[in-house]
């Protein structure tokens, strides 16, 4: 009996010792993977293979573009093993500051921010700098802060170049002697992007101005002279009417109206329709892919628009963020390796504190012959007669 009791006691001691050996200090990770280090493991490792959290701040869930971006980005990051804090600020810059402040306090590992107002975030993002949280500006440059590590957007200068090159090719400027008449209508004078679009278009056409193949009868040849506050359709309409009345009422031919975006193109098309007496249909450019403008493209009153595919921009942002989170510093070689076409730029975007390294996604030219490309994005669909494009926004919101 004593021998049996001794065996039982021995077994009990062994079990207790094994249990103690198997119990790990939670601060040391526990189990077979415990290295014995004293460093604590972040709670963020729970439920994530990477153990890192991405904070995403977008302007508004009510705008389909931002709703789609949020859904896409969250899915991409979670599939890659990251945790995601996604906040929409309902186009309220105060709320966005509060949202970002909360995410900084929650110790996210990176912030991806599409600013409601890029000039209002500097004080909040100073806290990100203090917490060693990198900040990626998305679609809209954030100004007056050193916090921004990188900027992901579309190439506004390339938008203008595409417009200018389209005019060049349609007028066959390389093989024709001209002269051809052109008028410019540009965007808001306070926006850096508006100037870059104008500069891209003007630079593409400058050789032909220098050769005398292109002329501007109204003499409105600088950004300051053609910029329209708020990209206003009404302002574009009035200025184009004035140009037509003063320079083209005698039958002078207008060959092209180079409009920086679709809202400006609407004004130009209206003015040409009511005031222009020439026998030709002038080339009219745009940017955006707005439904009314796409209808005009089908009808032949607008010739083209430059489209920025938001999914391409969102994918580029995801890849840039993933690289930063892995400790890389994205450069030209990295940007060239992306699956979407983009350029690396270290000089063009000055946020008043520094020149922000940028990944600028390339836009696409849309005309009457390739409207199906827009349908392929999922944001457009053909009408019942397969003639005009409709937006899928309401369908997606109701779905």
Through-space distance between the first and last CA atoms of the chain, rounded to whole angstroms: 76
Q: What is the pLDDT of residue 65?
A: 82
Contacts 24+ apart (CB under 8 A), 325-328: 325/50, 325/52, 325/54, 325/82, 325/109, 325/110
d(CA 336, CA 341): 8
Centre a 10 Å sphere on the Cβ of residue 300 and count the other Cβ atoms it contains: 10
Phi, psi of 83 (to 5 degrees): -80, 150
Instruction: Return the domain boundaries, the chain.
Output: 45-146+310-362, 157-307
What is the enclosing helix (H) or strand (E) of 181? strand 180-185
Rg (CA), the chain: 28
Q: What is the pLDDT of residue 68?
A: 87
Kindly tell me if the per-residue pLDDT of 214 is higher than 50. yes
Q: The CATH number of 157-307 is which of 3.40.50.2300, 3.40.50.720, 3.30.310.220, 3.30.750.24? A: 3.40.50.2300
Of the given ranges (10-14, 49-53, 156-160), which has the lowest mean pLDDT? 10-14
Q: What is the pLDDT of residue 23?
A: 37
Indicate the DSSP class of residue 357.
Answer: P
Using CA atoms, how far residue 122 sits from 4, 39, 136, 355, 361, in Å, is: 76, 33, 13, 15, 25
Supply the pTM of this predicted model. Answer: 0.76
Report the candidate in 302, 272, 271 with the shortest Cα–Cα distance to residue 288.
302
CATH fold of 45-146+310-362, please? Answer: Rossmann fold (3.40.50)
pLDDT cut 90: percent of the chain above it: 79
Tens of pLDDT, residues 314-371: 999 999 999 999 999 999 999 999 999 999 999 999 999 999 999 999 999 999 999 9
Of the given ranges (27-36, 165-174, 279-288), which has the lowest mean pLDDT? 27-36
Taking a C-beta distance cutoff of 8 angstroms, is the pair 180, 173 a contact? yes
Q: What is the pLDDT of residue 171?
A: 98
Its sign, for the CA torsion 249, 250, 254, 260, is negative
- Higher local confidence (pLDDT), 9 or 248: 248
Sequence-separated (6 or more) residues with CB below 8 Å from residue 34:
24, 28
CATH topology agreement for domains 45-146+310-362 and 157-307: yes
Tens of pLDDT, residues 18-75: 343 333 333 333 333 333 333 333 333 333 436 899 999 999 998 878 888 999 999 9
Report the candidate in 153, 72, 58, 68 with the shortest Cα–Cα distance to residue 114.
58
Tens of pLDDT, residues 173-194: 999 999 999 999 999 998 888 9
Indicate the DSSP class of residue 349.
Answer: -
Using CA atoms, how far residue 331 sits from 278, 342, 343, in Å, is: 50, 12, 10
């Amino acid at each position: 009996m004593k021998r049996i009791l001794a065996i039982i006691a021995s077994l009990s001691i062994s079990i207790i010792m094994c249990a103690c050996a198997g119990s790990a200090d939670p601060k040391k990770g526990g189990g077979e993977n415990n290295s014995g280090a004293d460093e604590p493991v972040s709670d963020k490792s729970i439920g994530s293979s990477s153990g890192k959290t991405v904070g995403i701040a977008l302007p508004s869930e009510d705008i389909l573009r931002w709703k789609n971006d949020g859904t896409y980005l969250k899915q991409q990051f979670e599939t890659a093993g990251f945790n995601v804090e996604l906040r929409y600020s309902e186009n309220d810059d105060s709320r966005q500051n509060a949202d970002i402040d909360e995410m900084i306090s929650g110790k996210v590992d990176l912030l991806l921010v599409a600013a409601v107002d890029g000039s209002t975030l500097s004080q909040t993002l100073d806290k990100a700098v203090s917490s060693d949280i990198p900040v990626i500006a998305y679609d809209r440059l954030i100004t007056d802060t050193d916090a921004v590590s990188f900027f992901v957007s579309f190439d506004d200068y390339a938008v203008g170049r595409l417009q200018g090159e389209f005019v060049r090719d349609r007028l066959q400027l390389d093989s024709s002697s001209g002269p051809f008449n052109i008028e410019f209508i540009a965007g808001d004078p306070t926006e850096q992007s508006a100037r870059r679009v104008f500069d891209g278009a003007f630079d593409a056409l400058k050789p032909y101005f220098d050769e005398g193949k292109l002329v501007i009868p109204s003499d409105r040849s600088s950004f300051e002279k053609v910029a329209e506050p708020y990209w206003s359709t009404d302002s574009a309409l009035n200025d184009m009417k004035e140009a037509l009345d003063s320079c083209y009422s005698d039958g002078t031919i207008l060959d092209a109206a180079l409009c920086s975006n679709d809202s400006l193109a609407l004004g130009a098309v209206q003015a040409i329709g009511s005031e222009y007496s020439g026998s030709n249909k002038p080339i009219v450019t745009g940017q955006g892919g707005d439904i009314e403008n796409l209808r005009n493209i089908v009808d032949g009153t607008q010739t083209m628009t430059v489209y920025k595919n938001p999914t391409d921009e969102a994918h580029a942002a995801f890849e840039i963020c993933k690289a930063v989170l892995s400790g890389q510093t994205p450069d030209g070689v990295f940007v060239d390796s992306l699956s979407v076409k983009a350029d690396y730029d270290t000089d063009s975007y000055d946020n008043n504190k520094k020149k922000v390294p940028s990944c600028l996604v390339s836009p696409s030219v849309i005309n009457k012959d390739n409207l199906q490309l827009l349908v392929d994005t999922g944001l457009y669909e053909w009408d019942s007669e397969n003639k005009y494009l409709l937006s899928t926004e309401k369908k997606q919101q109701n779905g």
